[in-house]
Amino acid sequence: MDEHISSKISRLELSMNRIANQFEAIRNGETEDAALRVTTDQSDTDIALAGIQIYPEEYFKYTCGDLADKLNIQIHDVLKMIKSHGLRGNCDYHKEISSGKNRFIRKWSDKTYSKLKEAVDSGAYSPKLKKLHTAK
């Protein structure tokens, strides 16, 4: 293989690894704080790491009503499971999103849904199922 092409492939691979490491850091809550990295090292010139912001509305997308609908259980059962698992206030599961000057909406993540679904499916918590309304 041509040395020039091999060099470009190596640099591309390095850039891809850096991107993967950045996403892994975001997943672990350890985002790298470099909006633009200035360097004279040519091996680093293929990529400029930018701080990636994930908006709370995208990560915390469920209300208690949404969780109840998705799990086919009552809202009060969702609230009981949230309390019993200690999810409120845990930044992996819960976020209070401002909806006004003195108002906020409690939102829940996919991790919350997974944890509650696991509890319902395993029988660790047996909430009352919603009654399906059928037209007669």
Kindly state whether residues 9 and 33 are assigned to the same domain: yes
What is the residue range of 111's domain?
56-122
Q: Is residue 30 part of a domain?
A: yes
88-114 residue pLDDT tens? 888 888 888 888 888 888 899 999 999
Q: Is residue 50 part of a domain?
A: no
Q: Is residue 20 part of a domain?
A: yes
Query: Rounded to whole angstroms, what are the CA distances from 84 to 4, 78, 88, 100, 126?
Result: 60, 10, 10, 29, 13
Residues 54 and 26: their CA atoms lie apart, in Å, by 9
Kindly state whether residues 65 and 113 are assigned to the same domain: yes
Kindly state whether residues 65 and 87 are assigned to the same domain: yes
Helices 110-122 and 75-85: angle between axes, nearest 10 degrees? 100
Kindly state whether residues 86 and 114 are assigned to the same domain: yes
Give this prediction's pTM.
Answer: 0.54
User: Among all chains, which residue has been given the structure tokens 């990295």?
Assistant: 37
47-81 residue pLDDT tens? 544 444 556 667 788 999 999 999 989 999 999 99
For the chain, give the number of residues: 136
Extract the tokens encoding 30: 């350890």
Q: Is residue 130 part of a domain?
A: no
